Structure 1
Amino acid sequence: MADANATQRGAPAAHIDSDKLAHEITEQFRQVLSTKRMNELTTRSVNSRSASPAPRDFGTPQPPSLHNAPPPSYSSLRNIPLVPQPPQDPRSIRFKNMLLSLSNMPIRWENPGLLDEALRVVPLEQIYNEAEEESQILQAEAESLGDGKKAAWGYQDCVVRALLRWFKRSFFTWVNNPPCSRCYSPTIAVGMAAPLPDEQARGANQVELYKCSVDGCGVYERYPRYNDAFVLLQTRKGRCGEWANCFSMLCRAVGSRVRWVWNSEDHVWTEVYSVHRKRWIHVDACEEAWDKPRLYTEGWGKKLSYCIAFSVDGAMDVTRRYVRNPTKHGLKRDRAPEAVLLYIMDEIRAMRRSNLSKQDKFRLEGEDMRENRELRHYVISSIATEVSKINPADILSGRQGPPRSDPDAEKALEGRQSGATEWIRARGEGGRGTPNQQNPRDQHPR
């Protein structure tokens, strides 16, 4: 092109490279053709939207080209990965401080002297004999199915299951209102009292006060709420807080990795890691429940917001394991934004794993990734279950019939077993079909 212009201006003609000129003309033709096709697509897009324009298109001229169109808005995207954000507002900061304090519970069980004392209390021969027998039965059942089937639970799982039965049936006692120490009559709760020096030294931060129900007696009973697992080995009584504390420590003593699960709706329980199944198993010592994560929602009829699991290796938000249908069983999570909660979990994990080797950190990160996949699977399975309950005949007829039953949910229909009937009803944990009267003033702390 430059040579042609020079010729037109009277300059001496130069040798013209025909191959180069043909290449340039071809590229120009391609650009013209591409621009023409893009304009045609733009025109078709504008015409297709003109019949039913979006609300933002009313009264605004359509762009002549896609190149001049404004960038798309991503404000409506909800499923993009969350980016951890540090807490900024006072409410989020208080939530962070509370979770950091709760994360110290599993650290207390790493005391070798405490674990040795726990092993003196546990009938190890009985526990291991029951575990060996159950393990052999499960292995025989798996072999009878053929095709290299794997046993339902491993030997260490059976050890914890045997420990769970012994703890519930023979070792620990549930306490609602302590009986009168003079006449053994029932007592009535009258409030809280400050802990005495010896009670505070043994780990009691609060003391419940009860009065004998007999008019002529008038004795007051103190019930310290101990949170020291060593003290609980001697008292052997309490409610779910003491049960989960002591039982989790005993699981640690027999060699299992444990979690202490805090629930914002006033309950706590345990999770034990199964090497055989490569996942965390729900265990509730109060109910002698093993691997029943839907117990609290489908069983007790509760709604949950936060379920946070704390271990010596960190923390994990495991709410999705226990709330399979957030629409039916989920409560509003407004203590902190989700990105802030993710930041808090990462911070606790980093703090607990700071002194670990690279190999151990890599192994724990792999477990975290596997657990995250498991928790996402629960969400997907819940959606698929709800869709499968839809009856095609109802869609065709336009009527809504009774939903199909969920076999997995039917397994967890039982209400709470531990605690007095009135106490269970007051907490709203009687299960479906039981009138729940949730009144915070009538509830004992966990």
Structure 2
Amino acid sequence: MEHSHAAQREASAAMDTDKLAQEMTERFRQVLSTKRMNELTSRSVQSRSSSPAPRDFGTPQPPPAHNALPPSYSSLRNIPLVPQPPQDARSVRFKNMLHSLSNMPIRWENPGLLDEALRVVPLEQIYNEAEEESQILQAEAESLGTGKKAAWGYQDCVIRALLRWFKRSFFTWVNNPPCSRCYSPTIGVGMAAPLPDEQARGANQVELYKCSVEQCGAYERYPRYNDAFVLLQTRRGRCGEWANCFSMLCRAVGSRVRWVWNSEDHVWTEVYSVHRKRWVHVDACEEAWDKPRLYTEGWGKKLAYCIAFSVDGAMDVTRRYIRNPSKYSLERNRVPEAVLLHIMDEIRAMRRSNMSKQDKFRLEGEDMRENRELRGYVISSIAHDVSKISADDILNGRSSRSRPDPDAQKALEGRTSGSNEWIRARGEGGRGTSNQRSPHDQHPR
């Protein structure tokens, strides 16, 4: 009996404990619920007190249409762009053109072509000049103090020597090709379809000229060859041929190379400097080294797009060449900026698809450094404009007096390659000249 009573007391105690636990849990839930409701009520009151009064709640508003455009937030215009694939026909055409242009550096990866290029280059002369210049730069750096770095490395000096030889001794500029019969000047008369042998050697277009001597009257064909191997034999041309052949020679002597396309009908080269850890502007036509402001401050051109292509991908490098957008920038209306970013990413991914993870990681690091460099040019431009503002000008309501920009002095005063007439027709004679090309100009780049 005692054992039975003890069991009943234990069961009753357990029931009381469970009941107490349930009551405590319910009270805890009520406390949390009350606290949560108080917080929500407080937030709602604060929101109503800080928000403007509603216009009208008496008339019910119709629900928004499914095809209504989202609101425009002007304050969000400068957020990072999200790449978007092209949607309209114009953007698709621009994408296809850039993909086609991106194939140019791939042609220079032919070992047979590079071996042939090394046969025509006076390597001993190039390397001797590079070694001498490299030692001079190193001595200058050491004279400035311990730990100073030379302005350029040995491989940079190799390209500088190659640039001088190419401009002065190897390649020839062509305005109007002379008459092959009497060697008299010729006059441009239009374009002609390429002959089969010309097309086989990479000429997609042919310029046609007529001898200026009436008694001769012979016609002269000038094929525009795109094959670097053919250019090693012809050794003549204008911007397109010069950049094509010179970039290939830079590749042959071991440098990483870019081919830069400009939407205003010019092309040039960029070479990667391991010493400086950045891409360097090189224009073989002008024998120009590291003068990216040549085309704007020098030639007086306005630019829209400058796209660099290499075997590793593509990069929009326009900001390197336009330091004053308000003065030298043209409207970029070929595609939306988000679409251009998508095209660059697409070409880059295609070129790097078969690379090792280590190589991809290295190139991504280079891309990040270059993006910082390009952003820095924009910041420097703004800082330079601000530095020209003086307190007296603000107080007196005058515009700020212009101060010389030391970096702009690296640009030349006008173009040196090509005839004066051709330069004037392209608007590249110097600062302040027109950037509009003559509709009768028969000389593309």
TM class, shorter-chain normalised? 0.7 to 0.9
2:373 alignment partner in structure 1: 374
Distance 2:330 2:56 in 1: 42
2-structure distance, mates of 1:299, 1:60: 61
Q: 1:129-148 to 2 correspondence within 5 Å?
A: 129-148=128-147
Matched, 1:97 2:106: no
Could you say which residue in structure 2 is the equivalent of 1:392?
391
Correspondences of 1:187-198 after superposition (within 5 Å): 187-198=186-197
1:332 corresponds in structure 2 to 331
**Alpha carbons 1:427, 1:439 under 8 Å: kept:** yes
Deviation per residue, 1:73-127 (Å, 9 max, x gap): 6622111111111111111111111111111100110111110010010000000
Shift of the 34–383 alpha-carbon distance from structure 1 to 2, 3 Å rule, reads same
Q: Which residue of 1 aligns with 2:84?
A: 85
Letter aligned with residue 322 of structure 1: Y
Distance 1:261 1:187 in 2: 31
Question: Whole-Å Cα distance in 2 between the matches of residues 151 and 104 of structure 1?
Answer: 35
- TM-score normalised over the length of structure 2: 0.86
1:233-288 deviation line (CA, Å, top 9, x unaligned): 01100000000000000000000000000011100000000011111100000000
SS at match of 1:442: coil
Deviation at 1:172, TM superposition (A): 0.4
2:300–2:433 Cα contact (<8 Å) kept: no
* Alignment counterpart, residue 73 of structure 2, candidates 57, 72, 75: 75
Deviation of 1:173 (Å)? 0.5
1:361 correspondence with 2:339: no
User: Counterpart in 2 of 1:419?
Assistant: 418
Aligned-residue CA RMSD (Å): 2.6
* CA–CA separation in structure 1 for the residues paired with 2:273 and 2:48: 58
What is the aligned partner in structure 2 of residue 273 from structure 1?
Answer: 272
Structure 1 contact 389–405 (Cα < 8 Å) conserved = no
- 2:164 pairs with 1:179: no
Query: 1:198: Cα distance to partner?
Result: 1.3
**Aligned CA distance change for structure 1 residues 32 and 300 (closer, same or farther; 3 Å):** same
Alpha-carbon distance in structure 1 between the residues aligned to 2:56 and 2:159: 68
1:441 is displaced (CA, Å) by 2.5
Give the Å deviation of 1:409. 1.8
Change (3 A) 1:405 1:42: farther
Change beyond 3 A, Cα 1:361–1:436: closer
CA contact (8 A) 2:302 2:435 kept: no
| Residue aligning to 1:106 | 105
Match of 2:437 in 1: 438
How much has 1:381 moved relative to structure 2?
A: 1.1
Give the counterpart letter for 1:193 in structure 2.
A
The amino acid that maps onto 1:263 is: N
In 2: Cα distance, 1:374 partner to 1:271 partner: 15
Does 2:209 correspond to 1:210? yes
Shift in alpha-carbon separation, 1:391–1:96, aligned structure 2, 3 A: same
User: 1:430·1:436 contact (CA, 8 Å) conserved in 2?
Assistant: no
Counterpart amino acid of 1:232? L
Q: What does residue 66 of structure 1 align with?
A: none
Answer yes or no: is the 8 Å Cα contact 2:270–2:280 preserved in 1. yes
CA distance in 2, matches of 1:413, 1:164: 17
- Structure 2: which 5+ runs fail to align? 1-19, 58-69
Compared with structure 1, are the counterparts of its residues 413 and 161 closer, same or farther at alpha carbon in structure 2 (3 Å cutoff)? closer
CA offset digits 1:176-226 (Å, max 9, x no partner): 101112222211100011111111111111110001112222111110101
CA distance in 1, matches of 2:218, 2:442: 22
1:103/1:389 CA distance change after superposition, 3 Å: same
For normalisation by structure 1, the TM-score amounts to 0.86
Q: Conserved in 2, the CA contact under 8 Å of 1:308 and 1:315?
A: yes
Paired with 1:102 and 1:436, the residues of 2 have a C-alpha distance of 24
Q: Give the match's secondary structure for 1:216.
A: coil
Which piece of structure 1 moves more, 21-30 or 322-331?
A: 21-30
Query: Residue 214 of structure 2 aligns to which amino acid in structure 1?
Result: D
Secondary structure of residue in 1 paired with 2:440: helix
Partner SS, residue 211 of structure 1: strand
Question: Which sits farther off after the overlay, 404-413 or 140-149?
Answer: 404-413
**Residue equivalent to 2:285:** 286
Equivalent runs, 1:290-369 vs 2, <5 Å:
290-369=289-368
Query: What is the letter of the counterpart of residue 107 of structure 2?
Result: R
Deviation at 1:388, TM superposition (A): 1.3
Structure 1 regions of 5+ residues with no counterpart?
Answer: 1-13, 51-56, 62-71
Conserved? CA contact 1:390–1:403, under 8 Å: no
Q: Deviations over 1:33-64 (max 9, x none)?
A: 89658746863x45xx89xxxxxx8x568xxx
Please state how far the C-alpha of 1:431 moved relative to its aligned partner: 1.0
* Alignment: residue pair count: 414
Distance 1:358 1:22 in 2: 55
- Alpha-carbon separation, structure 2, partners of 1:246 and 1:112: 15
SS of equivalent residue, structure 1 residue 164: helix
- By how many angstroms is 1:370 displaced? 1.1
Aligned equivalent of 2:3:
none
Comparing 381-390 and 170-179, the one that deviates more: 381-390
**1:369 positional shift:** 1.1
Larger deviation, residues 145-154 vs 280-289: 145-154
